[in-house]
Amino acid sequence: MFELAQQLMSIPSVTGGEKEVGLFLSKLLHERRYRVEKQFLIPNRFNVLAFAGTPRVVLCTHMDTVPPVLPVRADENFLYGRGACDTKGIIAAMLEAGDRLRSQAIDNFGFLFVVGEESSGDGAREANKLQWESDFVIVGEPTGNKLAVAQKGTLLADFSCKGRSAHSGYPEEGESAVTALWGVLQDCANTDWGNDPDLGKGTFNIGVFAGGEACNVVPGAATASVMIRLVEPRDGAEQKLHKVVGGRAEVKVVAGADPHRMHVVPGFETMVASFGSDAPYLDNLGKPLLIGPGSILDAHTPNEKISRQSMIEGADIYERLVKTLIS
């Protein structure tokens, strides 16, 4: 399991470039005698589907990672590298659980490894068109091996603002797009995005900001990409966003999802996820569960890691969950 995780981590798969890791998993699953299919979104970009028997439970996670690619290394306690906990260590734990289940003559489960979770969830949205008769989908994300009772929603938006360029020695001759857009974003950041007794507060993050050409030029254009973690319905949050902006900038909503309540099985520890996942996009595949080894606090960081013990426990939990759900 640990060796497989490191192999997967050694294959770069930043969102949009998942082909090689998809081919690796397809070959591996075929060698392990699963029925394997590729579901193409566009040429060279595909989800990987694998079946033991007719799946009543689907084990699902994503193949893509955020940038940048990181060196892969290990010590006696941890595996380090991009995708360690988000989510290549999780893939390895799921496959380990699958091997154990088949050794017990349990085969009515399947795997679904999707592209694009770290951006718009396009792989999961495509997978939701599948005509499986499954009852449950276990989505793998680093939850510390606790079942999420719910996850916050998301709203992704791109902002742009135009000004008028001028020589910085004569700023009165121009209009700074950077200053204008920054003011809009600050108003958004100071807005109340709701508070839920289970999910906590809604939050606003300016993930990317760009503008200007040189320090001696009044900037004529500026752009930003933001993500709002929602604890209220997406439609209402989108209306609130446009009201706060008030036409001062162009806003393009890229993607979003409502807060989502998960299926919970008695006997497992629980938590609330402040992050998003593909779970809201997979409702046609069954009731969603969200759980996986590793800590979300290590994901997307320069020191991403997963503990060996967490992976061992994760494989145990996936095996136990599938057996519980099937019975």
153-257, what's its fold? Alpha-Beta Plaits (3.30.70)
Question: pLDDT per residue over 66-89, tens digit each?
Answer: 999 999 999 999 999 999 999 999
- Asked if pLDDT for residue 111 goes beyond 90, the answer is yes
Question: pLDDT per residue over 147-204, tens digit each?
Answer: 999 999 999 999 999 999 999 999 999 999 999 999 999 999 999 999 999 899 999 9
Question: pLDDT per residue over 119-146, tens digit each?
Answer: 889 999 999 999 889 999 999 999 999 9
Cβ atoms of 103 and 22 within 8 Å: the answer is: no
Average pLDDT over residues 1-29: 98
**Residue ranges in the chain assigned as alpha helix (H):** 2-9, 19-31, 89-103, 122-127, 177-189, 234-245, 308-326
Please pick, among 18, 96, 117, 304, the residue that the annotation labels catalytic. Answer: 117
Domain locations in the chain as residue ranges: 2-151+259-326, 153-257
The tokens for 175 are: 């209009």
In the annotation, is 117 catalytic? Answer: yes
Place of tokens 């008028």: 164
Interatomic CA distance for residues 161 and 176, integer angstroms? 9
**Structure confidence at residue 198 (pLDDT):** 86
pLDDT tier at 224 (50, 70, 90 boundaries)?
Answer: very high
Average pLDDT over residues 98-117: 97
2-151+259-326, what's its fold? Aminopeptidase (3.40.630)
- Asked if pLDDT for residue 233 goes beyond 90, the answer is yes
pLDDT tier at 255 (50, 70, 90 boundaries)?
Answer: confident
Report the predicted TM-score, pTM, of the whole model to 2 decimal places.
Answer: 0.87
